A and B are shown apart, each in its own frame.
Chain A
């Protein structure tokens, strides 16, 4: 099973600041990584797939990068609606696995 480790667990930032979230895989997953956003009481929403492709309707302030074992989700300038929990997920091999999440909270 591929283990995904996200860091930091919590990121305290102000609106307008840049957020950088990390996801590290226990073995190479090529570019087969997605990022999701989840707000309290809601289902997750797909943001990024295959490491760097924005899903339909996702604003350009969200970008993804990385390959192999190290991946990054960047939010260039935080909007109030971006404060949420973010998860990475790999599709390189079964079982599909998620990281433990990074909470982006208002400072």
Chain B
């Protein structure tokens, strides 16, 4: 059974940094790409970033390019999202999600980590 557990959320001031982690189990982590998706309070879903199974390539939504970095440690079955220069509009629940067997859809999700950017 696939399990994804996010951690590292919290409250941070504008301009600050935070690193989210997502620990995976129940599947062969080293063979799947992984995503981060976020959801601002009361709003819809927004894809944030994707990393290939071996970490060789990454994609980002324009609004986080140059500020966020997705990475993974396959020896630890862990996905990361380093978030720098945080802004108030980055406030959201951040979900990690596993790529499906049928392409870059999201077939398993974590429970989410709340990031609040506020002064």
CA distance A91 to B90 in the complex (A): 23
How far does the alpha carbon of A36 sit from the alpha carbon of B37 in the complex, in Å? Answer: 13
Given the interface pairs A44-B45, A94-B59, A95-B59, the reply to whether A34 lies near B105 with Cβ below 8 Å is yes
Asked if B61 lies at the interface with its beta carbon under 8 angstroms from chain A, I say: yes
Tell me if A105 counts as interface (CB < 8 A to partner B).
no
Main secondary structure of the interface of B (DSSP, over half): strand
B57 to chain A, nearest CB (A): 11
By the criterion CB–CB under 8 Å, are A44 and B100 in contact? no
Chain A residues near B60 (CB-CB < 8 A): 95
* Contact stretch, chosen from B8-16, B20-28, B74-82, B109-117: B109-117
Give me the interface of A with B, judged by CB distance under 8 Å: 1, 32, 34, 36, 38, 43-46, 49-50, 53, 55-56, 87, 89, 91, 94-101
Hey, which chain B residues are within 8 Å of A87, CB to CB?
44-45
Q: Mark B37-59, 1 if CB is under 8 A from A, else 0.
A: 00000001111001000000001
A56 to B109, CA, bound (A): 14
If over half of A's interface residues share one DSSP class (helix, strand or loop), that class is named, otherwise mixed; here it is: loop
Given known A43-B95, A44-B45, A101-B44, contact A96–B103 (CB-CB < 8 A): no
- 9 interchain pairs (CB within 8 A)? A34-B105, A43-B95, A43-B109, A46-B105, A49-B103, A50-B102, A50-B103, A87-B45, A100-B44
- Taking a contact as CB atoms under 8 Å apart, the answer to whether A95 and B61 are in contact is yes
Contact A98 B102 (CB under 8 A): no
**What is the bound-complex CA distance between A89 and B100, given in angstroms?**
13
Tell me if B95 and A96 are in contact (CB < 8 A): no
* Cα-based distance from A98 to B110 in the complex (angstroms): 18
Which residues of chain B have C-beta atoms less than 8 A from A89's C-beta?
Answer: 45, 47, 105-106
